[in-house]
A and B are shown apart, each in its own frame.
Chain A
């Protein structure tokens, strides 16, 4: 065995951090995958109740939120390109827009859930348990769990983006070390992607 010296920085490996992020995204997909299986099974067992309950949801708000998330995915992707072009100001601006859009999504979600609560519909509410059938209970149970868990991911995504934004401003994330921002972008696309599946499953299938 012979030895060669390694001259590259051993503590920075862009490929490694990207691979790690992809693997993490894999686990997130499986986490939601479990929920999608549960949804599929109960939808199969209660097709009519799920259809009726789906009418209760507000398609307009859902559609607006879908557009918001798609645009936010675009802005964060643009921020990565801006970083590559060494345009720090534009990167920061685009990230701020992304965070604003995420916030608007959550505000919409808050009002959407609020309306449901006003109608007496929340997991385990008396109205749900006493006046509605099993299918509706399951539909709304899954609706709150899945959109709730998704909202939690939005919050986590926002925190990651804020951290990335900070590091871009400080200059520790730059064109030669873009991993953190790229990974934040990957994570944000995942959050977006999950919503792309949630929206039709709960709002659109009639």
Chain B
């Protein structure tokens, strides 16, 4: 086993002094750990904007009629909220931050396969984000199409859509490069002796994710290019007035954007698969079943896009097929939930903050998953299509799933990343407020949607008032919890107690290097022997 004394002469990655000074030591750094933090801080910035927009929407909906903004502003707010949250937060979220930071260390490598391309992907991320922001600041009107850029409105709307579309394209490029890098890294740079089936589950989930990023993103890339060209040149492919078909846009869009949901959720599941065995001090139950279900989700996820379009006009055969496939994709997710629960069975459970996040992840993910089955069934889908029910469903999955996993992961890996431990009491207080607020915010929307409240309206009928008040109150509680969490982490990164190498007694490789890790992680590349494994407690 590696010990701290062996490596003390090595400066850690936070204090390392290279060719460049000050901020350039970061933005020109090709160290995967620094790039991970660059991603994290830029995402945090965008996340603050996204949360503020979400709060504004909830405030508008606290009472029927106009409360704080007119309908057009509301359209702009939900569009920018969606574009930021989807393309800049949840899609890159776990891979770009924890994938970049942990993947090389967990597989015993000194860096990713292409460090320069890794940095380039962050530049693309920043460029894409700036383009989207520029669409808000300049031009005649903020985009108002929703994050889906549905044709034909996306080329008929007079608002400043081109930079937003181009921004999403560039962000896609960033995502592709990250995926490409991870695939090559996992294929080429695993430590000697670490066979495929000795690899920890977080890298495995990143591997599945990377393939989706690679194979699905180009399709939305070309689709966005076509919409942009439609706006500039009237090429006609999505314009019914010129013989084109707007439904074709929806197909092409969801061929990417449904698999993108698995780009979001697979790494989240991977992080949960690391946290649960650590805090149960037990070998993960069904290691191979989790891997197989990861790959199955990645595969089947390609063939379910039509369930976003049940009311758009499709043949009956297509509808049945997409509905059945949607039900099938629920199976591997359920297998994972079963495995996580079974891992806890008879384990010695240590209810630290990461574990609490992981358990609540399972809870909200199941609510989100089951409501997904309601949407995947044809008859109920027609009833709740484009209602607040859908909004509740995907916030439970995307924000509940990815968000809870992200917070779980940051509380899990924080001592490794910053070498200091956060205040554990405040971490739990933050978690409690966040969870209560989250459930209060989104649960009423299931009811509202069932009762028929449509999504994306700034106004509603008086009978929906009570549910909306509750939901808005929830948004405040959740944001309060969020503030506690962020402030606690920021303070602890500076002043927290010094963390040991392996505070959670975990068995994966990242806990064998010092906290924070030195520049190239390992003095000598570790070797996995016959009996070594990531979960041998």
Residue positions of A touching B, CB distance < 8 A: 1-6, 10, 13, 15-17, 19-20, 23-24, 26-28, 30-35, 37-38, 41-42, 46, 122-124, 129, 133-135, 137-138, 141-142, 144-145, 149
Contact status A13-B527, CB under 8 Å: no
Q: How far is the CB of B472 from chain A (nearest CB, A)?
A: 41
Pick 7 A–B contacts, CB within 8 A, sort by A: A10-B110, A19-B187, A26-B215, A34-B218, A35-B226, A134-B242, A138-B236
Contact B236 A19, beta carbon cutoff 8 Å: no
Contact call B229/A24, Cβ cutoff below 8 A: no
Question: Shortest beta-carbon distance, A71 to chain B, in Å?
Answer: 29
Chain A contacts of B188 at CB under 8 A? 13, 15-16, 19
Chain A CB within 8 A of B221 CB: yes
Chain B nearest Cβ from A163, distance in angstroms = 14
When chains A and B are docked, how far (Å) is the Cα of A15 from the Cα of B187? 10
Do A137 and B113 have beta carbons less than 8 Å apart? no
B192 contacts partner chain A, Cβ-Cβ < 8 Å: yes
Measured CB to CB, the closest approach of chain B to A155, in angstroms, equals 16
- Residues of chain B touching chain A, judged by Cβ–Cβ distance below 8 Å, are 1-2, 110, 113-114, 117, 176, 180-181, 183-184, 187-189, 192, 214-215, 217-219, 221-223, 225-226, 229, 233-237, 242-245, 248, 252, 512, 524-529, 532
Q: Complex Cα distance A147/B236, Å?
A: 16
Q: With A and B bound together, what is the CA distance between A14 and B389 in angstroms? A: 51
Q: Which residues of B contact A149 (CB under 8 A)?
A: 225
Which residue of the partner chain A has the closest CB to B219? A34
Let me know if A20 and B229 touch, CB within 8 A.
no
Of all chain A residues, the one with the shortest Cβ separation from B233 is A123
Contact of A142 among B110, B181, B189, B235 (CB under 8 A): B235
Q: Which residues of chain B come closer than 8 Å to A135, judged between CB atoms?
A: 243
| A1 in contact with B219 (CB, 8 Å) | no
A42 cross-chain contacts in B, Cβ below 8 A: 237, 243-244
B235: contacting residue among A1, A19, A145, CB under 8 A:
A145
- Which of B221, B222, B223, B243 is close to A137, meaning CB atoms less than 8 Å apart? B243
A35 to B223, CA, bound (A): 8
Within the complex, the shortest CB–CB distance from A24 to chain B, in Å, comes to: 6
Cβ–Cβ < 8 Å partners of B189 in chain A: 16
A33 to B243: give the CA distance in the assembly, Å.
21
Nearest CB on A from B313, distance (A): 15
Residues of B close to A3: CB separation below 8 A: 524-527
Task: Verify A145–B242 contact, CB threshold 8 A.
Answer: no
